[in-house]
Structure 1
């Protein structure tokens, strides 16, 4: 059992687990996450990822949801156990040892330390007292004894490694909790539509309505920013009077946090096109994406004959247009501008009254976020404390020999302490 605990708490194992977790996180970045199974088959069956993994392999290896997969959570649990055992076996005893005072009583013991000096003085006891006062003035903790003293500074630095381990464990618990208990919903909403979020009992918790959506573009027509005006209506089945609604605006990199949920402006799309055939009323027809025509191309197939024959395809890539009409033989029949005049397409006067864009909203509820932030804060605090050098100093006076023996230890930056100690003794001799 002891050998197993020693193996689990080994630093090399922890480093290996960190590397595996970093690689797994990279896979989660490269492979689209939490999409439909059809998407993985459509994208990776024809061209396997890395030439090895098709859609079935990605789904079987749980690469479609890396951060909530059983093997990724297992790696986190393994690393957490390794850090806990390492802290219990090494860091905690090291902290206890650092907080204990070590009492050296003979000059011979001091001579074996890394830094050791011997001063000749007329009154060694008086020099020892002056050294105690000087150390106290400089912020050292001093423990005096008859004809000797022990001092230390920076003992809080020994808490740093323990806090780093604790912070990492808290962070991983938060990440695992968020992956298991978190909720994620991505939807496209057109202005005027709304989305209801219900709990497990079927009660409406929140209604999100899109009141307006705009796309800001650069002079070349490329989208730069998306903004959505949202109306949030909290739902409470126990409230006698409906709770007041609030209106908020979100954009890319400026999400909304509301009642433990975060709403992100994630994407955009084209929802519908408003067409007029001759003197007919304006018809609002839904658009669908055509990935075979391009990355962001939407369109609709319209028949031009009562029997559904001779169809034309209206395709566009922006709410500003232009809208290009194609025949069944992929010939360009004409180009129309939203809000412009009509054009004759396949013998029919056709006008594009407008295009309705849709806002891509990502709603996430992650109960582990506070723990993740707390873990980061604890780990950063521990890392900062770890930079503090712990310095220890001992002094023994020999009044009969008129000598004062001084020696010190430092756990890091020994070169700086080797300069500080002689400077301290020089100041002591100069009075």
Structure 2
């Protein structure tokens, strides 16, 4: 009866278990993509109050299952740890012994032993010793390693291919360590900045370590008016004069600075510059109106000194137009940014401009170097895993040369190559 620890190790290192864990992690990642992450708890309760997520979970259940922060949840980190242990045990129990076995020289001394290999062939030679020497020269010229003995030799090629699976497992473990480290120790901050507005990042002592000022924000639209790209020009300033430079970011082109990554994540409308009657131009803040749509901004403006007879000014883009509605929802006017004033309820209104805001996502992820290293190691290991490990033995007897070989992948190609090698060894 096997030791219980050995049975447990065998179960944990089973390939089928690793596949199940990978599928569960992929499913969890899909859930983390479908459900917004890191929002306030009240937003989940409100969002799934009427319409349950997938018709199954309400807001309280989403919070209870930690689906609002999947990647730092206890169960997701447990899955990563479980898969990491499985990969380490698999490497220790299978891949490492396979590499050690590939590095050992096996000596076959009789033709009968060669006949039992996956590939075996015997050819008649007038001088088997000469054929043996010629074959060794051909193999050596093609990069094979040889170990010779009296009347025979052993050869191998592609031993580095056995390192590939070990590197793949190591890379995956590094990836998971980096992901877990980033989820537990990383920081995330989302802010909307209007042009000429600043954001100060403080260190743990409360000291300013970086000031970010939005100097320019542009929304590029297609001919139909749909947003195609957002570009923000940021001025980065470090206290003490260590840094003062302008950098541009856009969607899929973030900015990385000393462990902080700044993404162009979203856009919004910050303010409306409005001229009311003979007043100077006033910059009035905008807010979203979810009951009117996902991307509708506006403000409520009273038209009388006592605050009565309000109107709603709403718009969907920085290009306008600005629609003016009465209390009962009747549209009263249409204002163009930079256009002429329009009288609304006896009050001239003119929209001078609309101020857009850039949605910035700032992330500090200390696990990023480990993640990049893990990707690099996994790619190298994947490339090496494609290298076939071949082993070949040759024995010279009276008037015959006996050859046998094995290969861990693409055995058919090796079997087709062997006659060519024998012919080169036979005729020089």
Could you tell me which residue of structure 1 aligns to residue 405 of structure 2? 408
Q: Is the contact between residue 390 and residue 406 of structure 2 (CA under 8 Å) also seen in structure 1? A: yes
Which of 136, 139, 152 matches 2:140? 136
Which of 3, 21, 36 matches 1:17? 21
Could you tell me which residue of structure 2 aligns to residue 272 of structure 1? 271
CA distance in 1, matches of 2:396, 2:248: 73
Could you tell me which residue of structure 2 aligns to residue 247 of structure 1? 246
Which of 51, 56, 61 matches 2:60? 56
Cα shift at 1:291: 1.5
**TM alignment of 1:24-423, pairs within 5 A:** 24-235=28-239, 241-398=240-397, 401-423=398-420
Cα shift at 1:395: 0.9
Cα shift at 1:306: 2.7
CA distance in 2, matches of 1:393, 1:212: 68
Aligned-partner SS, 1:246: strand
Query: CA deviation digits over 1:301-336, x for unaligned, max 9?
Result: 111223322211100011111100111101101111
What is the TM-score of this pair, normalised by structure 2?
0.97
Could you tell me which residue of structure 2 aligns to residue 427 of structure 1? 424
Query: CA deviation digits over 1:251-293, x for unaligned, max 9?
Result: 2222111122111111110001111211012111110001211
Query: CA deviation digits over 1:350-374, x for unaligned, max 9?
Result: 1112111111111111111111111
Could you tell me which residue of structure 2 aligns to residue 238 of structure 1? none
CA distance in 2, matches of 1:214, 1:425: 70
CA distance in 1, matches of 2:127, 2:243: 82
Which of 4, 16, 31 matches 2:8? 4
CA distance in 1, matches of 2:257, 2:340: 44
Q: Which runs of 5+ in 1 are unaligned?
A: 236-240
What is the root-mean-square deviation in Å for CA atoms of aligned residues? Answer: 1.2
Aligned-partner SS, 1:380: helix
CA distance in 1, matches of 2:252, 2:105: 52
CA distance in 1, matches of 2:217, 2:129: 82
Q: Is the contact between residue 335 and residue 342 of structure 2 (CA under 8 Å) also seen in structure 1? A: yes
Cα shift at 1:231: 0.8
Larger deviation: 201-210 or 223-232? Answer: 223-232
Q: Is the contact between residue 310 and residue 327 of structure 2 (CA under 8 Å) also seen in structure 1? A: yes
Q: Is the contact between residue 260 and residue 363 of structure 2 (CA under 8 Å) also seen in structure 1? A: yes
Aligned-partner SS, 1:93: helix
Aligned-partner SS, 2:241: coil
CA distance in 2, matches of 1:162, 1:130: 36
CA distance in 2, matches of 1:218, 1:389: 51
CA distance in 1, matches of 2:269, 2:396: 86
What is the TM-score of this pair, normalised by structure 1?
0.96
Cα shift at 1:221: 1.7
CA distance in 1, matches of 2:115, 2:196: 83
CA distance in 2, matches of 1:379, 1:278: 67
Aligned-partner SS, 1:245: strand
Larger deviation: 2-11 or 321-330? Answer: 2-11
Q: Is the contact between residue 132 and residue 425 of structure 2 (CA under 8 Å) also seen in structure 1? A: no
Aligned-partner SS, 1:419: helix
Aligned-partner SS, 1:134: helix
Query: CA deviation digits over 1:120-177, x for unaligned, max 9?
Result: 2222222211211121111110000011100011111111111111110011111111
CA distance in 2, matches of 1:244, 1:363: 18
CA distance in 2, matches of 1:126, 1:216: 76
Runs of 4+ with >4 A deviation:
none
Aligned-partner SS, 1:164: helix
CA distance in 2, matches of 1:215, 1:153: 57
CA distance in 1, matches of 2:265, 2:125: 76
Cα shift at 1:375: 0.8
CA distance in 1, matches of 2:309, 2:286: 19
CA distance in 1, matches of 2:198, 2:299: 24
Q: Which runs of 5+ in 2 are unaligned?
A: none
